[in-house]
Amino acid sequence: MPGTSPPDERLRVMPWWLVLIGLLLAALLGWWVLYWLLGEADRAAAPDTRATLRIDAIRTGLTVVVGTGGGLALLLAARRQWISERAQRHQEVVAAADQAHRDRVQAHAEAVAEAGQRHQEHQAEAAAHDAAERRLTELYTRAVELLGNDNAAVRLGGLHALERLAQDHPAQRTTIVGVLCAYLRMPSPDDAREAEVRRSAQRMLTRHLRADGDVFWPGMRLDLTGARLDDFDATGCSLDDADLTGATCTGVTRFTGATLRGRLALGASFDTLLLDGVGGDATIVLDDARVTGGFSADGAEIGGQLSCQRATIGETTWRGTTFRRTVTFDHTTFGGSASFREAAFQGGLSLEHTTFGGDASFRRAHFADLALFRWTEFGGEASFADARFAGATSFGRARFHGPVTFESVTTAHRPLFDQARATTSAHHTWPDGTHVEPLDTDWLLLTDP
């Protein structure tokens, strides 16, 4: 096989005395034949033919000598040919092995060169990456330093520097959004220029949270706990886990048409809060919220749970809102009128220990599951006209300070009014089968049969 080393067979050199012995044996053989033929010629031939026979015998002996020598010569020639062929085969094997060795050396050299090239490319990439990271760090550090400057105009420039950095480097967006949120969480002096910087930071955040925009940053989470926000406008934004717990939100805070995922915590102080048309499956938490002005969530599609406990809300409207999971308004105070007109409660509803300071309208609302109004205070008119109750309903120990109407209501189970009270100074329309009796001059007592 080419490239295989020849076996370690040593070529033995023929000694000179072996040739001499061959020649001596050829001579002895010729002499013996001559001697034997001459003896036979002398014994068997007549005297007149003896000379001829002796000459033939000599000729035959010489022929034997010559033939034996020729045989030795042929043997030596054959050996010479064998040695020549073996040398040729050895040269071919050596040449093949040498070529294979050169090929291996060449392949190794190419592999070493390729590895060296890859190493150089890796070093170049690492150097370029390190340079880019250093430049990115320098830009980030410089922008943050600008944001901490005493001059409002310089701080505004720092905001735009951070925005451009985040736009060009998506991996830095989460960090930069965190920096902007931290800036909004810092104490705010009563200064018009600082207020403008903060409004710019707010607009910068919400601009990049609108999925229909050209500069959308998906997957951002807002930590605005304890922040001070002015006219915060998240209209049409896509929010993943936004936390405004403890924030102070002046002006109008808008989440109109926003898509909510994860958790939206709104346990903050608001002048006006708008959630009209929001959608998504987020859990919305309004626990301990304070809304001094209006609250509106008309036409919203709330796919997750809604918790609004211990909140204080002014005039509110949830008209046409769909609640797909459990809704809780326990211990909440509605200072103005509250409208849940045409709302759909597909999960349970709890309004226990809730206070309605003004009118409460549930006209044409749909309650698909349990609805609890126990210990609820209705300060104004309570309207459930044309409402549908598909589950159990309880108004136990509720108080109605204004007129109550259940006109054209549809119920799968008779509502319970255990120990509920209604004012005697207004006209009421109760569901069929409701037992009402005077308690005193001011109150009517509702009991279950």
Q: Which residues of 409-433 are buried (b: 16+ CB within 10 A; e: fewer)?
A: bebeeebbbebbbbbeeeebebbee
Handedness of CA 186, 191, 193, 198 (dihedral sign): positive
- Cα(308)–Cα(326) distance, integer angstroms: 11
Q: Is the pLDDT of residue 69 over 90?
A: no
SS3 327: strand
Question: What is the distance, to the nearest Å, from the Cα of residue 73 to the centroid of all Cα atoms in its chain?
Answer: 89
Answer yes or no: is pLDDT of 14 > 70: no
Cβ neighbors of 131 (< 8 A, separation 6 or more) are none
Q: Please give the model's pTM, rounded to 2 decimal places.
A: 0.75
Model confidence over 208-264: pLDDT tens digits? 999 887 889 999 999 999 999 999 999 999 999 999 999 999 999 999 999 999 999
Q: What stretch of H or E contains 421? A: strand 420-423
- What confidence tier does 51 reach under pLDDT thresholds 50, 70, 90? low
Whether residue 203 has pLDDT greater than 90: yes
pLDDT of residue 217: 93
Confidence (pLDDT) at 225: 97
pLDDT at 207: 93
Q: Say whether 342 sits in a helix, a strand or coil.
A: coil
- Dist. CA 133–CA 429, nearest whole Å: 73
**What is the rounded average pLDDT for all residues in the chain?**
88
Query: HSE of 276 in the Cβ direction (CA atoms, 13 Å)?
Result: 15
- Which residue is it, tokens 């809304």? 291
Weakest-pLDDT range from 26-40, 321-335, 422-436: 26-40
Integer angstrom CA distances of residue 374 from 337, 341, 395, 407: 19, 20, 5, 21
Q: What is the largest CA-CA distance in the chain?
A: 192
Decide if 354 contacts 371 (C-beta within 8 A): no
Bigger pLDDT: 282 or 124?
A: 282
Under the banding of pLDDT at 50, 70 and 90, the label for residue 382 is very high
What is the rounded average pLDDT of the residues 263-279? 97
201 vs 140 pLDDT, higher one? 201
Residue 42 has a pLDDT of 65
pLDDT, position 5: 46
Q: What's the pLDDT score for residue 3? A: 46
Average pLDDT score over residue span 392-418: 96
Do the strands 420-423 and 443-447 form a parallel or antiparallel pair, or are they unpaired? Answer: antiparallel
Domain locations in the chain as residue ranges: 16-125, 213-447
How many helices (H) and strands (E) are present in the chain, helices listed first?
Answer: 5, 35
Q: What is the mean pLDDT of residues 336-359?
A: 97
| DSSP letters spanning 272-310 | EEE-TT-EES-EEE-TT-EESS-EE-TT-EE-S-EE--S
Q: How many residues can be counted in the chain?
A: 449
- pLDDT band, residue 400 (cuts 50/70/90): very high
Which helix H or strand E contains 260, and what residues bound it?
A: strand 259-265
Give φ, ψ of 248 to 5 degrees. Answer: -115, 110
Angle between helices 47-147 and 152-168 (to 10 degrees): 150
* Lowest-confidence segment of 87-96, 321-330, 340-349 by average pLDDT: 87-96
Question: What pLDDT score was predicted for residue 139?
Answer: 75
For 379, which DSSP code? -
User: Would you say 124 and 117 are in contact if contact means Cβ atoms under 8 Å apart?
Assistant: no
When pLDDT is cut at 50, 70 and 90, the band that residue 395 belongs to is: very high
70 pLDDT exceeds 90?
no
Give the per-residue pLDDT at 44. Answer: 60
Above 70 in pLDDT, residue 18? no
pLDDT of residue 141: 84
Q: What's the average model confidence in pLDDT over 393-420?
A: 96
